[in-house]
Chains A and B, each alone.
Chain A
Amino acid sequence: MKKIKCKFNINGNHKDLLIYEEKPLIYVIRDDYNLKGTKLGCGLEQCGSCAVIIDGEKKLSCNILAKDCVSSKITTIEGLSSNDNLNKVQDSFKKYNAAQCGYCTSGIIISLSALFNKNSKPSKKDILKSLEGQLCRCGSHSAVFKAIENLMKSN
């Protein structure tokens, strides 16, 4: 197995790393950057827990190869806020306590942040599209919708 040198930009933090060519991005995020907010749920692009924003688009980091992200700007859940200044989606989720166990929550917040960054007044269809593939088993969905409703009102 070959290792290669790669430069990453995750949450504005630039790092030169020597990584296995086949390493998926999630392990660079969680292990090399020690950013644990991005969760591993399936490793199969089926649950959305590992979602991150790559160059403005939501992507699933569990299967995407890290080496293919070298020239990209990657944002994880930790990169959405600075100090205690939460982004609007996080703020609304916090206000509406929109999580139960919270395992799925960062992926959901990432998906919605990617959407709201591009479109501050998305339609219901846009919202459902962005949440496609984001699984939650605890049933936090109705609280998530309340948080989204609040977000739409404040935009």
Chain B
Amino acid sequence: MKNNFLETGPSIKKHNKLTDWFLLDEDNKIKINSGKIDIGQHISSTLALICSKNTGVKYEQIEVNKLNTKFSPNEGKTASSLSASHSGTAIKAASIELKNQFFQYVLSKFDCKLDDIDFENGVAKKNESNEGISYWDFAKTEIYKNIVIKDIIEFDKYSINQNDNNQSIELKTIHKIVTGEYIFVHDLCFDNMLHARLIRPPNYYSRFIDIDKKILDKISKLDISFFVQGSFIAILSKDEFLVSKFLDIIKNSIKWKSTRNLSNKDTFTSIDQNEKDSLLVKDGGEAVFERIPVLKNFDGNSNYRSKTITFNRPYLMHGSIGPSAACAIFENNKYNIYTHSQGIYDLKSTLSKALVTSEENINLKYSPGSGCYGHNGADDVAFEAAFIAKSFPNKHILLKWTREDEHCWEPYGSASINKLTSTIDKKGEIIYWSHEVFSDTCMTRPSVSELYNFVSYKLLNDDFIKRKSTPKTAPHMGIHRNLDPIYNFKEKRLVKNLVHDLPLRTSALRTLGAFANVTALESFLDEMAQLANIDPFDFRLNHLDDKRGRDVLLDLRGQMSLDKEKQGCFRGIGFSRYKNLAAYCAVGIELSVTDDVEIDLLKAWISIDAGEVAYNDGIRFQAEGGLIQASSWCLYEEVKYDTHEIISKDWSNYKIIGFDNIPEIKTSVINRVGYPYLGVGEVVAGPTGGAISNALCNALGQRIKTMPYTKDNIMKELLN
């Protein structure tokens, strides 16, 4: 709800001193400390823009420090689309508090009213005088040093000329990116640094037995070090070329013993047949251990019509373009680690346990990595680099995963099955909705109590046990994210099934369960709309009370109606509110299917409501990027494996979308001034999945139920 008061949120609750967030130690500059990192979502530019808008200091004069556990606030993980709502709200609160306290100070110093003050770019002057006080003068006072940010602050108390949200800004990182000067962790360079590569076993369950000694003699002559503990193996050299050159040679000279197979069954048979924990998902999205009601059957009642459908989603990869990397040095009993982890503070405590040292002995600095879409290899590689560093003290160890490491060892997005049954009455109203999801866990981040979630912690200890995960129960957590529909269906039966002993390592990939759940839900809604013979937009609106949700759908309908549908092209829509409490998004897709059964994505429309717009282009970039990635998941992606190993070892065996199939995208951002900021990194994926599935169904006249929508999968279903 819009008002003049701002609730400052969880980050300020933890760090409520203004000096936790701002450093004004240099004239005309505001330096922001944030606990979030740039992982491709441009949060630093958004924060600078929020600060500029609320302090009246030019965007160009605002810098954002990289996260460092020595001085940055702990804002948890940069995940779950919470960067803007956590850090953005904190910076807005800090900016307003700074401005409010500054004006109070200025008015008492000048002994005048607000109307007598001219304010520009952080400097307040009494009308027609040259006497001025700046934020930077104020920062030298004791008052400033002791400012505590309140839980609720007034944001229109001293209005200043605010900048426009739609202003076109230069991203903080862009100049360095286009000139090649932007330094990623992969690019760090220190005196005497050693480059390291890992020698991974053929699969998760292989034990190191032996290595051909002749190879060891050969590499030692070239000054390549060989490091082994348990089944964890690394090679190191000053020369990066040498470690990459000898990687395969050494790999081929090692004997491994496999302790078990990955799986003897295909993915969906395993999901269907393996042991599972079944939980009931309640209204509001919480999962509970309660008796699961039996599926209702309306057969024989002529007032009702029902349908049932099953969707399959394969394992998906994060597949960052730059493989995971970290740099670590161990000196004077302390570790200094450069990492692109999403959860740097959590990693610090976990590393202290894994490395058996106190937290004071570990300092982590954020150093950019390639795009991050969830729990990838960043935490693993940080642990590995630090662990190796202890055996090579006083030298920086720059460890890079190879393409094969990244493809085969990252924790994937789990495969899943979604089973839905629904019933409509004569008016076309849904009176019964059952949605069951079956999947592996989305939550295997390493933690103090789960060190074995570091893949190499297990290898170091020759630990080949496959542990059972426990189901997470919090609302919209993991597998059951967005299982509870936002629509007002009369009776719901929602079930989360955590399936055990599935073959591949899984964890949090962008949206967790929401992509599969929303894709299934939105696809099935179209099936039910068709059964009721009602237009898909109307069908959704008939079942939706939420005003902001309705506005987003109506906005999409308006956008799509402006572009005439061409012959031979087919459209579909999808809608969701992320976790039913964050951003709203509706997506429209237009596609065609070639004679060779290939899908051409032609147009896409996005309508989005992410609360107050802090940075319009930032929302657009995230939304369009999310749509493109989700399109890639739908059309091309599947991790392949056999009984013994992962087959998708590189891009030739794991296709992703290219520049040749990018639709023309139009994005409409609804600005809700005064409403909380909501993140947009994940909300677009589910609606995109639904929209593509629906457009494809319209094109083929038949629903394709197994992703990816490749020629093979489509033909299999069409011929069935």
Contact = CB atoms under 8 A, between A and B. Distances in A.
B665 A142 contact: yes
A42 interface: yes
Nearest to A22: B245
Contact of B624 (A22, A105, A143): A143
A102 B400 CA distance: 18
Contact of A76 (B180, B186, B189, B658): B180
Contact of B660 (A77, A97, A132, A136): A132
A48 to B, nearest CB: 9
B179 A37 contact: yes
A57 to B, nearest CB: 19
Interface size class of A (residues with CB under 8 A): 35 or more
Contact of A140 (B183, B241, B625): B625
Contacts of B425: none
Counting contact residues on chain B (CB < 8 A from A), the size range is: 35 or more
Contacts of B403: 41-44, 46-47
Interface string B643-669: 000000011100011111010010000
A131 B662 CA distance: 12
Interface in A59-98: 76-78, 80-81, 86, 90, 93-94, 97
A100 interface: yes
A81 B179 CA distance: 7
B246 to A, nearest CB: 10
Contacts of A128: 659-660
B174 A132 contact: no
Contacts of A40: 186, 322, 400
Interface in B234-263: 239-242, 244-245
B178 A105 contact: yes
A103 B42 contact: no
A138 interface: yes
Contacts of A136: 321
B651 A135 contact: yes
- Between B179, B180, B652, the greatest number of chain A beta carbons within 10 A of the residue's beta carbon is seen for B180
Nearest to B239: A31
A101 interface: yes
A41 B371 contact: no
A23 interface: yes
A28 B244 CA distance: 14
B239 A94 contact: no
B633 to A, nearest CB: 11
A99 B180 contact: no
A104 to B, nearest CB: 5
B627 A139 contact: yes
Nearest to B652: A46
B172 to A, nearest CB: 10
B317 to A, nearest CB: 9
Contact of A43 (B39, B320, B402): B402
Nearest to B406: A42
A135 B371 contact: no
Interface of B: 38-42, 170-171, 173-175, 177-184, 186-187, 189, 222, 239-242, 244-245, 318-323, 368-373, 400, 402-403, 617, 621, 624-629, 650-652, 656-660, 662, 665
**8 nearest CB pairs, A to B:** A37-B180, A139-B625, A139-B628, A77-B180, A102-B177, A36-B187, A101-B371, A101-B40
